[in-house]
């Protein structure tokens, strides 16, 4: 059985790591370069770096920050935020990113997924999907969750796999920052309709939430931010707790 991955997420705005609740009310959580090194040293399996203002500000991900983070870590490193071209991805990979995460740009121009997969390989392409449950229907949102669409989460997930995505990073906007647990029912359904890894995001509050998303949600990886940034859940202790429950993790 493949090991389950624990993935800290660095949401970056104005050069700082930030964290909010339901995508709003952002507070400072520290220097992303310092945090990245800490996580690499403390047992994280991967890192995700999201320049959350890039799309809203109509610019690409800050290359300088990517370079600095990449110099500090020896684990896979995914970068997202404002990515809209093959040329931009090429620059990010040359700065040290291992994978890229695309979200709004993929919805606006789905062929971008095909182009990136063809140029760099499926394993390099993560499609992030921010979705909110509205009257029982999971709907995709763009630009850091600020723009609602009529696109249905599960339909879009099937399409991105067909187009060449290597992974899906699903964030439940309803659960984000609430610390009430992941959207396990939606995650389990996602896992049943696609054949690529699913990264669960949104809702981590305690160690059992991680176990639940691996067991009930069938997630392949679990991403979290504030519980790691503010020292509420030490990664090594989390992995030991998961192992006790029979969940395969790398320690």
Q: Just list the catalytic residues.
A: 11, 130
DSSP string, 135-175: TTEEEEEETTTTEEEEEEHHHHHHHHHHHT-SEEEEEETTT
* Residues 221, 213: Cα–Cα separation, whole Å: 9
The token pair that represents 21 in the structure block: 């609740």
**Count of CB atoms situated within 10 Å of the CB of 22:** 15
The token pair that represents 197 in the structure block: 């890894």
* Residues 17, 39: Cα–Cα separation, whole Å: 13
CA-closest candidate to residue 156, choices 192, 205, 107: 107
């Amino acid at each position: 059985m493949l090991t389950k991955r624990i993935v800290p997420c660095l949401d970056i705005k104005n050069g700082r790591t930030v964290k909010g609740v339901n995508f709003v009310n952002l507070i400072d959580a520290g220097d992303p370069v310092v945090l990245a090194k800490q996580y690499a040293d403390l047992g994280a399996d991967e890192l995700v770096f999201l320049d959350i203002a890039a799309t809203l500000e109509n610019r690409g991900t800050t290359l300088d920050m990517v370079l600095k983070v990449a110099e500090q870590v020896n684990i896979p490193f995914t970068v997202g935020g404002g990515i809209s071209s093959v040329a931009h991805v090429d620059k990010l990979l040359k700065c040290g990113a291992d994978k890229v995460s695309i979200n709004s740009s993929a919805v606006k121009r789905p062929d971008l997924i095909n182009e990136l997969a063809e140029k760099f390989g499926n394993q390099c392409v993560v499609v992030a999907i921010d979705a909110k449950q509205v009257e029982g229907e999971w709907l995709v949102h763009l630009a850091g969750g600020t723009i609602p669409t009529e696109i249905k989460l599960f339909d879009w997930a099937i399409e991105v796999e067909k187009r060449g995505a290597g992974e899906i990073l699903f964030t439940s906007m309803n659960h984000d920052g609430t610390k009430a647990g992941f959207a396990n029912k939606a995650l389990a359904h996602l896992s049943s309709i696609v054949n690529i890894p699913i990264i669960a995001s949104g809702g981590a509050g305690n160690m059992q939430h991680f176990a639940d998303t691996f067991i009930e949600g069938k997630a392949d990886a679990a991403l979290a931010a504030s519980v790691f940034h503010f020292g509420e859940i030490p990664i090594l202790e989390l992995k030991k707790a998961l192992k006790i429950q029979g969940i395969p993790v790398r320690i």
